[in-house]
Structure 1
Amino acid sequence: MTRLIKNISVLLLLLCVSLAVRAQRGGQAAFRQRNEARVMRPNVAKRFDQIKKNYIARQLNLTPEQSARFWPMYDAYQAELDEILILRRQNNTNVQPGGEDQFDRELTYQQRITAAQKKYYHEFCNVLPPDKAAQVFKSERDFKFELLRRLKEGHGPE
């Protein structure tokens, strides 16, 4: 657990430092850094995803056979969620007058997320016992809450 906390702390520290550096630079240097950050983000996202996967793996205590069958399914689940979340973010960045259509689309995205979770819960049950399949979603929530808690407390690397 402490290694996970250290990894999360390092990741958060790197993000904070990059934001502080970006805020202090101006003009062309800021433009160059924004373009460099676009190239570097996939590496940060991959590292973050690996930390999250390690957390979930510890929570689920998978056997090697379960692990070999579970992670490809989980990756497919994450890809489907990412697709929905991108559309959701795009919907929320363009605030529209009236907002009724935007609200309806938001509800549709929430329904799509719930449908994906139901679909993959049943697929996870083909590989894991039902209690472990349900634990996948709880572990994701717990990971997010732990991350938010650490951000609020302002923890750096330990």
Structure 2
Amino acid sequence: MKIAFFTRQLNLTASESKEFWPVYNSYFLKIKKAWHSNIGNRPAFDEKASALKDKYRDDFVRILHSHERAENVFKAEKSYRKMLKEELKNRKQVPAEKGKK
């Protein structure tokens, strides 16, 4: 689902996708590690996340051939998280509604 979402959002070609995913997965694992190592300390996480975005931005520009498309990686990530939260919210409401019948 994530691959399809990002592919659509970023308009990835097959060759871009082949290069993009290993780099994105590396970035994502480091973000995840930063989150887990800074639980309860949002400012520290935000600082590390910002540094990681700066570090990976050039790689995304190289792969996607523009700064705008590279910035769209981070926008797509935010949209994806929002979509997942909505999906989880909807799933929690459905069983409650079934129980009312």
What percentage of aligned pairs have identical amino acids? Answer: 28
Deviation per residue, 1:43-68 (Å, 9 max, x gap): xxxxxxxx222211111111111111
Q: State the aligned residue count.
A: 92
Q: Give SS of 2:63's match.
A: coil
Partner of 1:146: 83
Partner of 1:137: 74
1:108 has 2:58 as partner: no
Q: 2:68 and 2:94 mapped to 1: Cα distance?
A: 33
1:117 has 2:53 as partner: yes
Q: 1:144 and 1:82 mapped to 2: Cα distance?
A: 13
Deviation per residue, 1:42-95 (Å, 9 max, x gap): xxxxxxxxx222211111111111111111110110111121111023xx3xxx
- Aligned-residue Cα RMSD (Å) equals 1.9
Q: 2:88 and 2:28 mapped to 1: Cα distance?
A: 23
Q: 1:67 and 1:151 mapped to 2: Cα distance?
A: 27
Deviation at 1:155, TM superposition (A): 5.5
Is the alpha carbon distance of 1:79 and 1:152 closer, same or farther for their aligned partners in structure 2, counting shifts above 3 Å?
A: closer
- Higher RCO (CA 8 Å, separation ≥ 6 residues): 1
Deviation at 1:108, TM superposition (A): 2.1
Q: 1:135 and 1:80 mapped to 2: Cα distance?
A: 19
Q: 1:155 and 1:132 mapped to 2: Cα distance?
A: 37
Rg: which structure is higher? Answer: 1
The amino acid of 2:38's aligned partner reads R
Deviation per residue, 1:8-51 (Å, 9 max, x gap): xxxxxxxxxxxxxxxxxxxxxxxxxxxxxxxxxxxxxxxxxxx2
Is the alpha carbon distance of 1:53 and 1:155 closer, same or farther for their aligned partners in structure 2, counting shifts above 3 Å?
A: farther
Q: Counterparts of 1:71-82 in structure 2 under 5 Å? A: 71-82=21-32
Deviation at 1:150, TM superposition (A): 2.8
Q: 2:38 and 2:2 mapped to 1: Cα distance?
A: 22
Partner of 2:62: 126
Q: Report the TM-score when normalising by structure 1.
A: 0.52
Q: Counterparts of 1:12-91 in structure 2 under 5 Å? A: 51-89=1-39
